[in-house]
Amino acid sequence: MLNPIVSLSAGTPPTEGGVTGTYRIKLNTPAPVGGLTINFNTTGSTATLNNDYNFALGANLTAVTANSFTIAEGATTATLNLVAHADTLIDPDETVLVNLTAGTDYQLATGTFSPKADYAAGSGSYSISTGDFNNDGHLDLAVTNPNSNTVSVLMGNATGFDTKIDYATGLSPVSVIRCQCCCVMPLILVLMLTSIMQQVQTRFLLAWAILIAMVNWI
């Protein structure tokens, strides 16, 4: 009998003192009698265990340590929780990488991709940002559309993404930025960025016109 194949993917991004982060765990067959312990490491992380975050039990986990978690007997899915510690420091670049490692009672997934799924956005889609904008546990998308002067927001669901909702911006939005502190901030930042670009362009053209006028006068 072949051992279960285990895979892990990122779920909800954590916020300090707020939203609990999650990692989604899947098995291709139910965990055996007594449960299944999976080994991992956090090599490549910039955040520090215990100082910046801790792992915690999620759905269908019976135990978790600094380098392993145990999936409950009979389960094919589970959730590993990550609790980010609240402090007074701004740490925009902290990351936690969970890397599954080999074990004797399971196999690691090979990392292949499912067939592509196409989702419509606006015209000339240029920049994309992801995040759980409405805190429902599913990743959402925000896409800038310079040709249609809009930002398309696609809310995530259990199987993919809902149909886009378009929000008007200024002329030719080129970037969208997600902020951890507020779910509506991506749209606000796009509007601000577009407005600033328009002001810079207007001031540049005005300065150029003045320079030409001065040259002609001389």
Q: Who wins on pLDDT, 37 or 135?
A: 37
7 CB-side CA count, 13 A: 11
Cα angle 135, 143, 146; round to 5: 150
**Alpha carbon distance 110, 66 (integer Å):** 24
Convert the pLDDT of each residue in 27-56 to its tens digit: 999 999 999 999 999 999 999 999 899 999
Tell me: pLDDT of 215 over 70: no
Convert the pLDDT of each residue in 151-182 to its tens digit: 899 998 878 899 999 988 888 888 777 665 54
Report the candidate in 198, 194, 180 with the shortest Cα–Cα distance to residue 129: 180
Convert the pLDDT of each residue in 95-111 to its tens digit: 899 999 999 999 998 86
